[in-house]
């Protein structure tokens, strides 16, 4: 009996120098995917990912196409080893929402690359501020943010909320948090702006024209919206609208995971990216796994992020 499957895709923060190099060396479908991406982007994305330095791949204009390409390459390689598998649901965190739409055949891969190339360029050029992950619930984080000219950027888990603002405003917020919640931790994130806050409004307004020109089709499986926290409407105009709004509103990732759980997903497959110590793809671990397991409990989890995890996932029953 086929398990009800959800495909998951990470966003920025899951990139690293050398990403995808092991898969590219071993699988023809991955080489074809990177060649297709390079043609759509107008530059050698394989060279950037495999031999570029960390500073370049961490620039938002490069991070977004690199992660989308790696995630699609992982998905295509997995499809070759498991042709029996297809998603009933798809979800992605921030940038990953575009990959989820590719997985659902709502968005062509080349069209998605051109979208995120422009999206990354605009976010890098017009974005301001920084981001901080707080080990606080959304209500407590929102109260602090409102006192220090900051805003909620993402609601990842009940006790993990990301806020965005100017560096000095975030510093003031953290000092306040230390007094109010002395046992709570936080982490400053490495981004080029306070993504998914009012600091992205100018980038979003400019990006809207690009979104309007892109061709979307009704998704062939259910896709979750970061903006609403619920499933996308099948109407392409509604998808465009929510992707526009996503740029300057919080990513409701916890709500997305709850919808996956409520839908009865029995298997979660995460494609692309990688985090953690070590420099090689083999030393990386999946970006979304810990969050997904906390919410989706008993569902089976398969990461597909490098050669080792791909082979293990392909051999799974």
Q: Tell me which residues are annotated as active site.
A: 94, 196
Going by the DSSP 8-state scheme, the letter that residue 13 receives in this structure is: T
Q: Across the strands, what pairs with 301?
A: 268
28 burial type by CB count under 10 A (0-12 exposed, 13-18 middle, 19+ buried): exposed
Chain center to CA of 192: 16
The token duo for 291 is: 């969050």
CA pair distance 31, 91, nearest whole angstrom: 25
CA pair distance 65, 45, nearest whole angstrom: 8
CA pair distance 257, 17, nearest whole angstrom: 29
Question: Are the beta carbons of 215 and 111 closer than 8 angstroms?
Answer: yes
Residue (of 137, 157, 245) closest to 198 by Cα position: 245
Residue (of 26, 211, 8) closest to 99 by Cα position: 8
Across the beta sheet with 267-271, what order do the strands follow?
Answer: 222-223, 89-92, 5-9, 267-271, 300-304
Instruction: Kindly give, in sequence order, each residue whose CB lies less than 8 Å from that of residue 32, ignoring residues fewer than 6 positions away.
Output: none
The token duo for 240 is: 């465009």
The b/e string for 238-256 (b: 16+ C-beta within 10 A; e otherwise) is: ebbbbbbebbbbbbbbbbb
140 φ, ψ (degrees, to nearest 5): -65, -40
Chain center to CA of 6: 15
């Amino acid at each position: 009996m086929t398990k009800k499957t959800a495909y998951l895709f990470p966003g920025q923060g899951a990139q690293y120098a050398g990403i995808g190099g092991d898969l590219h060396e071993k699988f023809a479908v991955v080489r074809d995917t990177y060649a297709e991406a390079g043609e759509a982007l107008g530059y050698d994305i394989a060279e950037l990912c495999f031999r570029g330095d960390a500073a370049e791949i961490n620039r938002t204009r490069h991070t977004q196409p690199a992660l989308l390409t790696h995630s699609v390459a992982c998905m295509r390689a997995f499809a070759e080893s498991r042709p029996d598998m297809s998603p009933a649901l798809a979800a992605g965190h921030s940038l990953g929402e575009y990959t989820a739409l590719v997985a659902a055949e709502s968005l062509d891969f080349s069209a998605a690359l051109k979208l995120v190339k422009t999206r990354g360029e605009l976010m890098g050029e017009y974005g301001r501020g920084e981001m901080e992950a707080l080990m606080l619930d959304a209500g407590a984080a929102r109260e602090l943010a409102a006192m220090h000219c900051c805003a909620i950027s993402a609601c990842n888990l009940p006790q993990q909320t990301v806020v965005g603002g100017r560096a000095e405003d975030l510093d003031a917020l953290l000092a306040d948090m230390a007094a109010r919640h002395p046992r709570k931790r936080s982490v400053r994130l490495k981004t080029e702006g306070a993504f998914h806050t009012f600091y992205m409004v100018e980038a979003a307004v400019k990006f809207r024209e690009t979104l309007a020109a892109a061709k979307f089709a009704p998704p062939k499986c259910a896709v979750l919206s970061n903006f609403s926290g619920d499933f996308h409407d099948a109407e392409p105009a509604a998808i465009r609208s929510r992707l526009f709004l996503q740029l300057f509103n919080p990513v409701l990732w916890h709500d997305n995971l709850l919808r996956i759980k409520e839908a009865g997903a029995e298997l979660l497959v995460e494609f692309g990216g990688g985090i953690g110590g070590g420099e090689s793809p083999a030393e990386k671990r999946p970006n979304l796994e810990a969050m997904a397991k906390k919410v989706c409990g008993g569902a089976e989890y398969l990461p597909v992020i490098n050669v080792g995890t791909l082979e293990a996932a392909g051999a799974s029953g």
